[in-house]
Amino acid sequence: MNPAVLEAYGKRFRSLRCDPDQGRPRPHKAVMLLSVISLIESGRLASNRIVYDTDLTQIFARFFELVRSGSDKFTPFNPFFHLKSEGFWHLHAVPGKEAVLSAISTIRGRGQLESVVAYASLEEPLFILLADPTSREVLRKTLIETYFPHRAAEVLSASLEESAISSAQQILEKGNTSAGPAVAEAIRDAAFGRTIRKVYDYTCALCGIRFVCDDVVLVDAAHLIPFAESRNDSPSNGIALCKNHHWLMDKSLVAPGPAPNGDYAHPIWHISDALDSRLEAHRACMEYKRRPLLLPRDHQFHPMQTALDWRMDHLRVG
């Protein structure tokens, strides 16, 4: 750690160009930097390549809700774009969109950002500082004490918890059954939920609905064998479902299971014969009978056989 370089970046962090609002700086840029720091600390951002994705925006949302005031709007795409004015944050264009990126001075939304910006990066000396635990903590506290002194303890606590969630998520994405020993329940729940939604690309494995808007996603993360029974948070014991179909599975009216020939590699949906095709609402569900599950691209995250068997054993009989 170079003390002179650390002090120079500390000074730049204390003087971010933030739009003023009733005498106080808007929180967006500081919140975006805190979010990136959490990702670096967890190991999820191992290279100097910051992608605007749900991993980033859901952390941003956590901090933003702590520090926002009545007039602040949730627009994480704005600081991701406008941090370029600080000199240490660089935007990299989608191939072929270099001229478009250089020509625009503001951003209208996530769609426009993703159409022209492939990723952002930090000045290399700053990224090196943030990879070092001691200097990272100095710069994090600089942001918190400068922009959020009235909520400093809460923001610092959220920072540490978000880093723990991201670390646990990284462990689960490697196929482990647990986020690690002695992980708090809130951290374990959040890590499992984020992992399942991400590996299923935020898509319901039954109906295929997908809705993503920054930190807002429509699907739930469900255990196939309930955690209370299995103590298993592995992605292969999880599935992403919209709220309606999550509820139907929990009520044992639908179940993922093997194909009729006993093929567990290509599971299908089984529908309880308690449903009545004469009822319109039931027919809407029965349409999915024997349809294949919409599965993650990575086979290591596909449902394990024992989990499918558990669901089939609990499918309601009419």
Of the residues 116, 141, 172, which one is the last residue of a structural domain? 172
Q: Is 274 part of a structural domain of the chain?
A: yes
Q: Do residues 255 and 305 share a domain?
A: yes
pLDDT at 198: 93
Q: How far is the C-alpha of 276 from the C-alpha of 178, rounded, in Å?
A: 40
Q: Is 180 part of a structural domain of the chain?
A: no
Q: Do residues 152 and 193 share a domain?
A: no
Q: Is 101 part of a structural domain of the chain?
A: yes
Q: CA end-to-end span of the chain, whole Å?
A: 68
Question: Whole-model pTM?
Answer: 0.85
CA 204 to chain centre: 16
Q: Do residues 160 and 195 share a domain?
A: no
Q: Do residues 124 and 152 share a domain?
A: yes
Q: Is 179 part of a structural domain of the chain?
A: no
Which contacts (CB < 8 Å, 24+ apart) does range 41-47 have? Answer: 41/133, 41/136, 41/163, 41/166, 42/162, 42/163, 42/164, 42/165, 42/166, 42/167, 42/169, 42/170, 43/166, 43/167, 43/170, 44/166, 44/167, 44/169, 44/170
**Domain residue limits at 66:** 3-172
For 254, the 3-state DSSP assignment is: strand
Q: Do residues 236 and 87 share a domain?
A: no
Q: Do residues 195 and 161 share a domain?
A: no
- Going by C-beta distance under 8 Å and a sequence separation of 6 or more, which residues neighbour residue 103? none
Q: Is 154 part of a structural domain of the chain?
A: yes
Q: Do residues 146 and 96 share a domain?
A: yes
Of the residues 172, 200, 220, which one is the last residue of a structural domain? 172
With a cut of 70, which residues of the chain have pLDDT below it? 1, 22, 181-182
Q: Is 148 part of a structural domain of the chain?
A: yes
Q: Do residues 51 and 12 share a domain?
A: yes
pLDDT at 212: 86
pLDDT at 179: 72
Q: Is 22 part of a structural domain of the chain?
A: yes
Q: Do residues 130 and 244 share a domain?
A: no
Q: Do residues 34 and 111 share a domain?
A: yes
Domain count, the chain: 2
pLDDT at 1: 65
For the segment 274-305, what is each residue's pLDDT rounded down to a tens digit?
Answer: 999 899 989 989 999 999 999 999 999 999 99
Q: Do residues 114 and 21 share a domain?
A: yes
pLDDT at 43: 85
Q: Do residues 165 and 24 share a domain?
A: yes
Q: Looking at residue 93, what DSSP letter applies?
A: E
Q: Is 177 part of a structural domain of the chain?
A: no
Of the residues 140, 172, 204, which one is the last residue of a structural domain? 172
